[in-house]
Chains A and B, each alone.
Chain A
Amino acid sequence: MRETFRAMLVLVAVLLFEAAECCSGRNTSFSCIERERDALLKFKLCFHDPSHMLSSWKGNNCCEWIGVGCDKNSGYVVSLQLRGSILDQPYWYFIDDQQPQPQLYLIDDAKEVVSSLLKLRYLEHLDLSNNNFGGNLIPPSFGLMKQLRYLNLSYVQFRGRIPGELGNLTRLQVLDLSQYYYGRLKVDGDIQWISRLSSLQQLDMKGVNLSHASSNLFQVLDMLSSLSWLNTIGQLSKLESIDLFKNQLNGSIPDIIRQLSKLKSIDLSHNQLTGSISDSIGQLSKLESIDFSDNQLTGSILDRIGQLSKLESIDLSENQLTGSISDRIGQLSKLESIDLSDNQLTGSIPDSIGQLSKLESIDLSHNQLTGSIPNSIGQLSKLESIDLSHNQLIGSIPDRIGQLSKLESIDLSLNQLTGSIPDRIGQLSKLESIHLFHNQLSGSLPNSIWQLSKLESINLFENQLNGSIPDSIKQLSNLESIYLSHNQLSGSIPDSIGQLSKLERIYLAHNQLSGSIPDSIGQLSKLESIDLSGNQFGTGFPKWLQLQKTILMVDLSNASISGPLPENIGHMTPMLQGLYLANNFMNGSVPKSLCNLKYLGALDLSNNMLSGSIPNCWRNDQSLNFIDLSSNNLSGLFPSTMARLSSLSVLHLNNNSLHKGLHVALKHFTSLVVLDLGENKFSGNLTSIVGGEIGNHSLKIFRLRKNLVSGDIPLKLCSLSQLQILDLADNNLTGRIPPCFGKFSIMVNATLQLSHDMGNEYWDEAFFTEVLLSRYFEYWNQAPVMEVVKGRYLKYIKTTLVLEISIDLSSNNLIGSIPEELIFLKDLHNLNLSWNHLSGKIPEKIGQMENLESLDFSKNSLSGMIPNSMSSLTKLSYLNLSYNNLSGPIPTGYQLQTLEDPTMYAGNPQLCGALLLKKCSNDTLPSTISNFKGNDEGALKRMWFYIVVMLGFATGFWGVVGTLIFIKNWRYAYFQWMDDVHHWILVVITLKVARFKKMFNGNQDDQ
């Protein structure tokens, strides 16, 4: 038994050896031609070969050399396979230093390579891909190798123009010129040569710049009326695949493509193609795969595409396609994958989609699809992934989704789905990710969901789900992230959550969770971020955090946490990037160890009961960007070492009891956007606080409200060109308002700033991730700023903070007049100069500040008239001019007529007007003149009209009556004529009445 087995082994070994010999061409029955061997050796000399790829190229029989293939009978070299080590990769894959290491480096002229290869007269197959030809041009002499059937020069780092001589390779079946780096290789001018490649079956030109082919490939075709490229493609009737991925094509897909009747695959992705997908595609009956993604195609789809019965995959994503998805899609019976995402498709998802029995993946996300999810989706038994997110789908999630037993990922987020999550979802045993966030799903979380043991990501935030998180969550042993924020979940977090050893992200914010935060969270060794804000845990600062050496983000704000922050927090969690503990009941001091957190970007301890002084140990290797310590009981000095935090952009220290001399020196805080020091007890001179030269500063919000700061307003402030909120109110400032305030450029023209920091796209996914992971990093507008506007303390945050533009210098000891220059601040919304000692007149042209909504000059010593131009402030909704020495009439008209509370003018005994007890005498009649022309013009017109009417009447009346009085004959004739007319009328009326009576009676008789 054992003997026979051994014999068989020997036999098999011998056979294998024979086979190997045969295949490697190492056949001793023939040897290579000497002339060809010399040529190969010459070829070898052209290269530096550090990886010894050609080390076998020695000895006589070149047919035995690795990579060389000879014809068995004649011994001629027929194939050269000298592919580099790296396999085919998309061209972008190696950007950034990750360039592949090719094995052959050209050290000679590329022409030499070709001239040596030309001696191999029977060479049919040439593969030099993935080697390094060092940016040489493709030698035109390649075109002389007419016997070639296969030419692969992909990723060899050729550059420049592809020589038209390649068109001579008429036997070529495969041509691959793909490139890693887009545009290094290009097709220039004349591209007819491709048309001569009449045997070509596969053309691969990934990353080749075709845009210079007389501007673009397809437009050329249309311009050259008869042949050229139109025929070029057309003649390539054997072509089975086109791959022009990322070639900067523009223009439309040519109709001529229909002639490519053998085409199985077409890839025109990542170009700038425009126009619609022509019907001609529908005639390519052999087509198996279409990829037109990332273009600018418009029009509707899938009307004729229903004919493509062999289609297996279609990708039209990232275009501007409109219209609805045709019902005929159900005819594509072989379809395995469909991606129509990122278009502008409307209408509902057709029911016929359920007929696509082979479908494995469907992506219709980022469209404007309406209606409900068809029930037929339950028939797609092979479906592995479904993405219908970011549409306007309504209705409930079909129960039959539970039949999709192969489903691995489901994304229905950002729709308007209602109802509850079907219990049958628990049957999807292969499910790895479930995304249903931002819908209106209600009811409790189905218990079956906790059985999905393969689940890695569960994302249900922003719904109306209730119920609690059960102990059985521990079954989700593969769970990496759980997002259940912004629901109505109650109960406590189960202790068993600590068993989910792969968990990286926990987001349970803004629910009604209570109880204590389980200590078992400390066991989660991979935890990166945890957000439990907006719940009511009512515990102390969690001890489990000590075990979290690798955690990046902790958000426990608004979670009823009390007690002190651990003194050693900076050592416990060395990787921490974000620490949010706002709106709790924390006491004790701000730990010094925070200065050790190198990676901390955001620190929010606002609205607690922290006391003591702010640590002054900040280091320049820290990356703090956002610090909010506002609304605590902090005292002591301003932490001047914060100037070392070179990336600090938001600093809120307002509403504490910080005191003593303040020396900020803005020039040290180079990247500061928000500096809020309001509501403290800072003293000192404003000039020394601001410091020396400011330079080109990014500060947008500067708040010192309600401190004890004194001195003049330094002119240096005017160089803060980005400033949009300046609040120095309630201090002891003296001197004049600098006229250069009129130069704050954002206040002059707000459009200068708005483009980049609008937080309006709240549901943009990128923004969403940003907000969750590092809420405050880039968004300086995420912490509120208090401003007195329209007589009220208002809290500006997010959008309104970005847009608010305000100057408040009220309650100081400022003197002098209001600078005329302030009128240039035409985008200012709020100007408050009240409670100072300002004198002089209100600037005459104040009406130019057309965006002013709230204006307060009260409690000063302003004199003179209220400028008429004020009536053109059409946005004004709050005005206070009380307690000055203003005189004369109150202007009226337009907006001012809606501001009719007399107290806004009180305490100006010389003012008069309809609102006041003192009415204006005639000579100072209130003028309604405003910048809207036409009002006074109209009055003038009307006056002229009356004058003309009076004149007309006088001449007309006296012209007739006067003549009758003075000329006797005319008078007689007139009265005679009047008598005649009178009689005539009487007669006519009597006659008519008689006739009507007769007719009426006659009609009655007839009946």
Chain B
Amino acid sequence: MACLTPFFFIFFLSLSLFLSPAFSTNSEGNALHALRSRLSDPTNVLQSWDPTLVNPCTWFHVTCDSNNHVIRLDLGNSNVSGTLGPELGQLKYLQYLELYRNDIGGQIPEELGNLENLVSMDMYDNKFEGRIPKSFAKLKSLRFLRLNNNKLTGSIPRELTTLTGLKVFDVSSNDLCGTIPVDGPFSSFPMESFDNNRLNGPELKGLVPYDFGC
């Protein structure tokens, strides 16, 4: 009996691998549809988001890869408002999350940290509030993170210094406090990226607490 255990393990593993694409496309469509229900859409940019379709790949502003996984969500400058929900975290294959120049508010969901393939997150020019989720430190592929012109508070999570691939980081014009990390990619970001906040200059390890002034 014991010798069968690895067999079953492999069997179920391969089964789940085999079945996963079929499930995930559906769940991605559902996640996007859940997003639609949270957003107010006066100019009908989400009109094509029909949940009865097999997958969301023909929906406007959604792009899939050849396995019908959602890799882009392009809703920049789309006149939508409302909030984001945890279901966005289910878009496991998402590379580009473009929500800039809208009227979206509320907290940035912690679950966005699950988007492990994310390359670019553009949420600038919205009304997001609350903290920058620490979970963003899990976005190992992230190269562009633009959160400027929102109402974000709290400090810049120090955990983001582990994002070695980060090329652009812009949190200007928010209500952030504390000090600015200097490690990792943060050594190369221009000061403009941090303008117009309540930030107290670069981090002075040991001398001043990291979230000094928060």
Task: Please determine whether chains A and B interact with each other in the same assembly.
Answer: yes
Given contacts A853-B74, A875-B74, A894-B100, contact A800 B59 (CB under 8 A): yes
Contact B53 A798 (CB under 8 A): yes
Which chain B residues (98-154) contact chain A, with CB distance < 8 Å? 98, 100-101, 120, 122, 144
Residue of B nearest to A792 (CB): B66
Interface string of A764-801 (1 = CB under 8 A from B): 00000000000000000000000001101011111110
Among A754, A760, A797, A898, find the residue whose CB has the most chain B CB atoms closer than 10 A.
A898
> Which residues of chain B are within 8 angstroms of A760 by Cβ–Cβ distance?
47, 50
Given contacts A760-B50, A800-B48, A803-B47, contact A874 B101 (CB under 8 A): yes
What's the minimum C-beta distance from A494 to chain B, rounded to whole angstroms? 31
Q: Which of A799, A800, A898 contacts B98 (CB 8 A)?
A: A898
Which chain A residues (432-457) contact chain B, with CB distance < 8 Å? none
What's the minimum C-beta distance from A90 to chain B, rounded to whole angstroms? 39
Given contacts A799-B48, A800-B50, A898-B122, contact A794 B76 (CB under 8 A): no
Q: List 13 A-B contacts (CB under 8 A).
A: A794-B58, A795-B58, A798-B53, A800-B58, A804-B58, A829-B60, A874-B76, A874-B77, A875-B60, A875-B61, A875-B76, A894-B100, A932-B101
> Which residues of chain A are within 8 angstroms of B50 by Cβ–Cβ distance?
760, 798-800
Q: Is B156 an interface residue (CB 8 A)?
A: no
Q: Which of B59, B63, B98 contacts A895 (CB 8 A)?
A: B98
What's the minimum C-beta distance from B23 to chain A, rounded to whole angstroms? 17
Which chain B residues (37-59) contact chain A, with CB distance < 8 Å? 47-48, 50, 52-53, 57-59
> Which residues of chain B are within 8 angstroms of A799 by Cβ–Cβ distance?
47-48, 50, 52-53
> Which residues of chain A are within 8 angstroms of B60 by Cβ–Cβ distance?
800, 803, 829, 853, 875
Contact B144 A898 (CB under 8 A): yes
* A-binding residues in B (CB < 8 A): 47-48, 50, 52-53, 57-61, 63-64, 66, 72, 74, 76-78, 96, 98, 100-101, 120, 122, 144
Given contacts A792-B66, A877-B61, A877-B72, contact A898 B52 (CB under 8 A): no
What's the minimum C-beta distance from B187 to chain A, rounded to whole angstroms? 20
Residue of B nearest to A790 (CB): B63
Residue of A nearest to B56 (CB): A800
> Which residues of chain B are within 8 angstroms of A894 by Cβ–Cβ distance?
76-77, 100
> Which residues of chain A are within 8 angstroms of B101 by Cβ–Cβ distance?
874, 932
Using A799-B47, A877-B72 as known contacts, list a sample of 8 further A-B pairs with CB atoms less than 8 Å apart, ordered by residue number in A. Answer: A762-B52, A792-B64, A794-B57, A798-B53, A800-B48, A874-B78, A876-B74, A877-B96
Kindly state the separation between the CA atoms of A878 and B48 in the bound complex, as whole angstroms. Answer: 18
> Which residues of chain B are within 8 angstroms of A877 by Cβ–Cβ distance?
61, 63, 72, 74, 96
Kindly state the separation between the CA atoms of A800 and B76 in the bound complex, as whole angstroms. Answer: 20
Kindly state the separation between the CA atoms of A760 and B47 in the bound complex, as whole angstroms. Answer: 9
Top 10 closest A-B pairs, CB basis? A799-B50, A874-B77, A800-B58, A877-B74, A803-B48, A874-B76, A877-B63, A800-B48, A877-B72, A794-B58
> Which residues of chain B are within 8 angstroms of A803 by Cβ–Cβ distance?
47-48, 60
Residue of A nearest to B143 (CB): A900
> Which residues of chain A are within 8 angstroms of B144 by Cβ–Cβ distance?
897-898
What's the minimum C-beta distance from A234 to chain B, rounded to whole angstroms? 48
What's the minimum C-beta distance from B212 to chain A, rounded to whole angstroms? 25
What's the minimum C-beta distance from B165 to chain A, rounded to whole angstroms? 13
Kindly state the separation between the CA atoms of A804 and B58 in the bound complex, as whole angstroms. Answer: 9
What's the minimum C-beta distance from A781 to chain B, rounded to whole angstroms? 10
> Which residues of chain B are within 8 angstroms of A876 by Cβ–Cβ distance?
74
Contact A878 B63 (CB under 8 A): yes
Among B66, B72, B78, find the residue whose CB has the most chain A CB atoms closer than 10 A.
B72
Kindly state the separation between the CA atoms of A898 and B121 in the bound complex, as whole angstroms. Answer: 9
> Which residues of chain A are within 8 angstroms of B48 by Cβ–Cβ distance?
799-800, 803-804
What's the minimum C-beta distance from A850 to chain B, rounded to whole angstroms? 9
Kindly state the separation between the CA atoms of A228 and B78 in the bound complex, as whole angstroms. Answer: 57
Which chain A residues (794-830) contact chain B, with CB distance < 8 Å? 794-800, 803-804, 829
Kindly state the separation between the CA atoms of A77 and B60 in the bound complex, as whole angstroms. Answer: 81
Contact B72 A800 (CB under 8 A): no
> Which residues of chain A are within 8 angstroms of B58 by Cβ–Cβ distance?
789, 794-797, 800, 804
> Which residues of chain B are within 8 angstroms of A800 by Cβ–Cβ distance?
48, 50, 53, 58-60
Kindly state the separation between the CA atoms of A797 and B53 in the bound complex, as whole angstroms. Answer: 8
What's the minimum C-beta distance from A974 to chain B, rounded to whole angstroms? 31
Contact B76 A895 (CB under 8 A): yes
Interface string of A153-178 (1 = CB under 8 A from B): 00000000000000000000000000
Among A798, A800, A803, A932, find the residue whose CB has the most chain B CB atoms closer than 10 A.
A800
What's the minimum C-beta distance from A53 to chain B, rounded to whole angstroms? 61
> Which residues of chain A are within 8 angstroms of B78 by Cβ–Cβ distance?
874-875
Kindly state the separation between the CA atoms of A796 and B58 in the bound complex, as whole angstroms. Answer: 6
Kindly state the separation between the CA atoms of A878 and B76 in the bound complex, as whole angstroms. Answer: 14
Residue of B nearest to A805 (CB): B60
What's the minimum C-beta distance from B159 to chain A, rounded to whole angstroms? 24
> Which residues of chain B are within 8 angstroms of A762 by Cβ–Cβ distance?
52
Residue of A nearest to B73 (CB): A877
Kindly state the separation between the CA atoms of A875 and B80 in the bound complex, as whole angstroms. Answer: 14
Kindly state the separation between the CA atoms of A760 and B33 in the bound complex, as whole angstroms. Answer: 14
Kindly state the separation between the CA atoms of A742 and B60 in the bound complex, as whole angstroms. Answer: 22
What's the minimum C-beta distance from A724 to chain B, rounded to whole angstroms? 13
Kindly state the separation between the CA atoms of A803 and B58 in the bound complex, as whole angstroms. Answer: 10
Kindly state the separation between the CA atoms of A645 and B179 in the bound complex, as whole angstroms. Answer: 75
Residue of B nearest to A798 (CB): B50
Among B63, B64, B101, B144, find the residue whose CB has the most chain A CB atoms closer than 10 A.
B63
What's the minimum C-beta distance from B213 to chain A, rounded to whole angstroms? 24
Residue of A nearest to B52 (CB): A762
Residue of B nearest to A796 (CB): B58
> Which residues of chain A are within 8 angstroms of B77 by Cβ–Cβ distance?
874, 894
What's the minimum C-beta distance from B21 to chain A, rounded to whole angstroms? 16
Q: Which of A797, A829, A898 contacts B96 (CB 8 A)?
A: A898
Kindly state the separation between the CA atoms of A762 and B96 in the bound complex, as whole angstroms. Answer: 31
Residue of A nearest to B122 (CB): A898
Which chain A residues (873-923) contact chain B, with CB distance < 8 Å? 874-878, 894-895, 897-898
Kindly state the separation between the CA atoms of A760 and B60 in the bound complex, as whole angstroms. Answer: 15
Contact B66 A895 (CB under 8 A): no
> Which residues of chain B are within 8 angstroms of A932 by Cβ–Cβ distance?
101
Kindly state the separation between the CA atoms of A371 and B130 in the bound complex, as whole angstroms. Answer: 34
Residue of B nearest to A758 (CB): B47
What's the minimum C-beta distance from B195 to chain A, rounded to whole angstroms? 10
What's the minimum C-beta distance from B48 to chain A, rounded to whole angstroms? 5
Kindly state the separation between the CA atoms of A894 and B125 in the bound complex, as whole angstroms. Answer: 11
> Which residues of chain B are within 8 angstroms of A875 by Cβ–Cβ distance?
60-61, 74, 76, 78
What's the minimum C-beta distance from A48 to chain B, rounded to whole angstroms? 62
Residue of B nearest to A802 (CB): B48
Among B47, B50, B61, find the residue whose CB has the most chain A CB atoms closer than 10 A.
B50
Kindly state the separation between the CA atoms of A796 and B57 in the bound complex, as whole angstroms. Answer: 9
> Which residues of chain A are within 8 angstroms of B53 by Cβ–Cβ distance?
797-800
> Which residues of chain A are within 8 angstroms of B59 by Cβ–Cβ distance?
800
Residue of B nearest to A760 (CB): B50
> Which residues of chain B are within 8 angstroms of A798 by Cβ–Cβ distance?
50, 52-53
Which chain A residues (826-869) contact chain B, with CB distance < 8 Å? 829, 853
Kindly state the separation between the CA atoms of A88 and B163 in the bound complex, as whole angstroms. Answer: 83
What's the minimum C-beta distance from B210 to chain A, rounded to whole angstroms? 29
Residue of B nearest to A874 (CB): B77
What's the minimum C-beta distance from B119 to chain A, rounded to whole angstroms? 8
What's the minimum C-beta distance from B42 to chain A, rounded to whole angstroms? 13
What's the minimum C-beta distance from A607 to chain B, rounded to whole angstroms? 15
Interface string of A553-580 (1 = CB under 8 A from B): 0000000000000000000000000000
Q: Which of A797, A829, A898 contacts B120 (CB 8 A)?
A: A898
What's the minimum C-beta distance from B177 to chain A, rounded to whole angstroms? 23
Kindly state the separation between the CA atoms of A829 and B47 in the bound complex, as whole angstroms. Answer: 14
Kindly state the separation between the CA atoms of A794 and B59 in the bound complex, as whole angstroms. Answer: 10
> Which residues of chain A are within 8 angstroms of B120 by Cβ–Cβ distance?
898
Kindly state the separation between the CA atoms of A798 and B47 in the bound complex, as whole angstroms. Answer: 12
Interface string of A529-549 (1 = CB under 8 A from B): 000000000000000000000
Kindly state the separation between the CA atoms of A760 and B63 in the bound complex, as whole angstroms. Answer: 22
What's the minimum C-beta distance from B41 to chain A, rounded to whole angstroms? 13
